[in-house]
Amino acid sequence: MVQNTKISPHLDKNIERFKEIYGESADIKMKEMVLGKDENVRCFLAYIEVAFASGMLKASSIGRLTAYLETLPKEKINEALDQNTMGLSDMTLFDTVEEAAQMLLTGDAIFFVDGYTHALKIADKGYPGMSVKESDSEKVIRGSNEGFSDSIKVNTALIRKRLRSTRLRVKELHCGVRSHTNVDLVYSEDLASPKLLQKIEKRLNEYEIDGVLDSGVIEQLAEEKWYSPFPQFQTTQRPDRAVMAILEGRVVLLCDNSSTALILPVDVNSFLKTTDDYYNRFEVATFARIIRYISAVLSMTLPGLYLAITNFHTQILPTPLLLSFWEARLGVPFPAVLEVILMEMSFELLREAGIRLPGAMGNTIGIVGGLIIGQAAVEANLVSPIVVIVVAFTALCSFAVPNEEFAFASRLLKFYIILLSAWLGYFGFMVGMVTILIHLSRLKSFGIPYLMPFTAGDLNQGEDERDALIRLPLKWLKKRPVYAQRDQRTKLKRKE
């Protein structure tokens, strides 16, 4: 049970309790000073060393406040603090020492005054953090290059910068019993469903955890079907992608100390769209989107389909192609399934090594390593050239999927399809595809069918199908997706 100590008019009691909470922490600086016109009012200031401005007594908010209080008589100080006569934009009062001590951890200063029964939180520069940077994982040809930073305040400001609406709401929650991480739900009050917000808050409050250090922790705890390889949250590092989601009636979840935002609810179509689909003409966007859909399917099915055909159903291949495959496999000591699995695991290893290696070395290891290992394996007669081509093309298809989490699900299920196809041939391939489709048809994200708009399209009178595999011209996309409230579905109309 947490003890709540009311702030006493006697400063010594407050100091004693405050020091009891923090103990001997070297980074927590605690200073006593004397203020007032006659220098007869004792004060106590606490702050985190790196999070507070070094020239605090001159340039900072607390410096200006203390300078002002030095000019007042003792009986006027409490009145000045109550009325915030300095007009400080971010000054918060607390009634208990525990609340004040907790808010110190936001990177602000806590100020106690003898005879005053409140503690003051006064904002300063805060914790050090990375500034706005370019998004690494969601490259676009056209559109903004700004990406989210590690500061939740900066991220909400980047959204406000693009969506200057008085109906935009930012609801702050705290996750983690020990970390007390700030989590913001960002949404448009008139577009997002109140039931959706209730579901999200209920899901976030289902678990108690020591610390939340990234949005990925929240994602795993809040997923309804935790065993599914398919992501039930959409991740983004782009503020414009987040704003597009808010305008669709969805909710964006921001986590402090994380540059990755979560968007919910989602459907399979959300993972295969990019922001520049809406900045380019519909022919270009449609062509690119069709390529992505084909790539998503092939990244999961191509090696399994190759095994099913070459091991069980060679009669469907033209004779010249079949002879070419046969010649390529001459002298290879391994069965085809082991050959494919070895090459797939080699490419996955190269991909993981490329991520972990620093700088330019990591960027080149995938290409150079793939070429060297593939060429050496073929020359050593360990694998056939056709398998190298199939595996390399499969990896290329996975890179074309714009969402990394969705692409990773395809990479995992690829091995499931490979094993079934190697065991049962084309029948096993079809069993694998049907079971995946059944799983997707049963999957929901906060009440939205995962296969929208290809199933349950009538929930929005088929409007979502206009922006699915084929993106119709922008002037025809007049309705918001199914996520938005029914009376707010119209987003585009001609001026009268």
Structural domain contains residue 193:
yes
Structural domain contains residue 492:
no
Q: What is the pLDDT of residue 363?
A: 61
Same domain, 305 and 422: yes
User: Percent of the chain at pLDDT above 90?
Assistant: 34
Could you report the per-residue pLDDT of 7-26, keeping only the tens digit for each?
888 888 888 888 888 877 77
CA distance linking residue 240 with residue 191, whole number of Å: 17
* Domains of the chain: total: 3
Could you report the per-residue pLDDT of 181-228, keeping only the tens digit for each?
889 999 999 999 999 999 999 988 888 889 899 999 999 998 988 899
Structural domain contains residue 494:
no
Which of 79-88, 196-205, 349-358 has the largest mean confidence? 196-205
List Cα–Cα distances, 424 to 118, 210, 307, 311, in angstroms.
74, 47, 10, 10
Calculate the average pLDDT of the chain. 85
Structural domain contains residue 317:
yes
Given 234, 266, 298, which residue is the final one in a domain?
266
Confidence of residue 308 (pLDDT cuts 50, 70, 90): very high
Residue range of the domain that includes 326: 282-448
Could you report the per-residue pLDDT of 52-82, keeping only the tens digit for each?
655 445 556 677 777 777 777 777 777 777 7
Same domain, 295 and 438: yes
Same domain, 359 and 434: yes
Structural domain contains residue 288:
yes
Given 90, 122, 154, which residue is the final one in a domain?
122
Same domain, 72 and 205: no
